[in-house]
Amino acid sequence: MNDAFLTGTYVFLLAVFLGVELIGRVPSTLHTPLMSATNAISGIVILGGMILLGQVDGNIALSIVGFIAIILGAANIVGGFAVTDRMLGMFKRRPEADGAGEAGS
């Protein structure tokens, strides 16, 4: 194994550990701002996958990794927007029925 692979593995494992610790301690009131931040990170993952696919030069393994990165990043963004939209919908006022607010009419 070369040093670049070990360094990449070390950074990946630290990122996984840090991500689990940070996400697990976030209160539910901060979920929507956190989701928008993870959408931005997923956008960076998609961009990295597209850059990787542009530079693979016929390497099948790298093509598969880049394709999976794009698919998973896009799924995370779509799911994040769906969850955020649903959570924001919980704060909207429901329309009142006609005449329901009038007393004695």
Domain boundaries, the chain: 28-89
Neighbours of 35 (CB within 10 A): 19
Closest CA to 45 of 24, 19, 25: 19
Answer with the residue of higher pLDDT: 66 or 100: 66
Whole-number pLDDT of residue 71: 93
Average pLDDT of the residues in 79-100: 76
> Which residue type, as a one-letter code, is found at position 34?
L
pLDDT band at 100 (very low <50, low <70, confident <90, very high): low
- The per-residue pLDDT for range 7-22, each reduced to its tens digit, is 878 888 887 887 777 7
Cβ proximity of 11 and 38 under 8 Å: no
pLDDT higher than 60, residue 86:
yes
Q: Against a cut of 0.75, is the pTM above it?
A: no
64, two tokens: 């598969």
Closest CA to 69 of 84, 54, 58, 82: 54
Specify the range with the lowest mean pLDDT, choosing from 32-36, 47-51, 63-67. 32-36
Whole-number pLDDT of residue 103: 56
13, two tokens: 């494992």
58, two tokens: 């016929």
Average pLDDT of the residues in 69-92: 84
